[in-house]
């Protein structure tokens, strides 16, 4: 189980770096035009569908994090919410699973 936990950490790191590489290339090539990037997310039906798929998934993850963190009284996982919306679901979800699967403190 320990190795599986670190696999999720590796996925979170990959999910932060790999998509950001493409985002930064686009942003630099388009003179930091964030509006243009958002417009590109809706350039056709396929891109729009993927955008909504990821948005709905990010909202579901956010609700899960909020409810689970409150129930467990563990605020560390809340860091995954801004990472999900600032970097992407590919970073926030595996990072939350990594944090959620850490060994509990002995009582």
Average pLDDT over residues 9-35: 94
Mean pLDDT, rounded, of the chain: 94
* Cβ within 8 Å of residue 48, ≥6 positions away: 41, 42
Task: Give the sign of the dihedral formed by CA 38, CA 27, CA 22, CA 86.
Answer: negative
Return the pLDDT at 107: 47
Return the pLDDT at 105: 66
Residue 2 pLDDT grade (very low, low, confident, very high; cuts 50, 70, 90)? confident
Return the pLDDT at 9: 97
Question: 33 is written with which tokens?
Answer: 């035009």
The closest alpha carbon to 4, from 104, 101, 107, belongs to 101
Q: Which residues of 91-103 are buried (b: 16+ CB within 10 A; e: fewer)?
A: bbbbbbbbbbeee
Average pLDDT over residues 81-101: 97
The closest alpha carbon to 90, from 62, 66, 58, belongs to 58
């Amino acid at each position: 189980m320990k190795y599986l936990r670190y696999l999720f950490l590796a996925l979170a790191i990959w999910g932060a770096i790999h998509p950001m590489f493409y985002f930064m290339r686009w942003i630099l090539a388009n003179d930091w035009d964030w509006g243009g990037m958002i417009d590109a997310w809706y350039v056709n039906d396929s891109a729009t569908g993927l955008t909504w798929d990821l948005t709905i998934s990010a909202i579901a993850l956010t609700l899960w994090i909020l409810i689970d963190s409150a129930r467990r009284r563990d605020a560390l996982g809340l860091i995954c919410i801004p990472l999900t919306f600032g970097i992407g679901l590919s970073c926030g979800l595996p990072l939350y699973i990594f944090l959620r699967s850490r060994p509990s403190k002995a009582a």
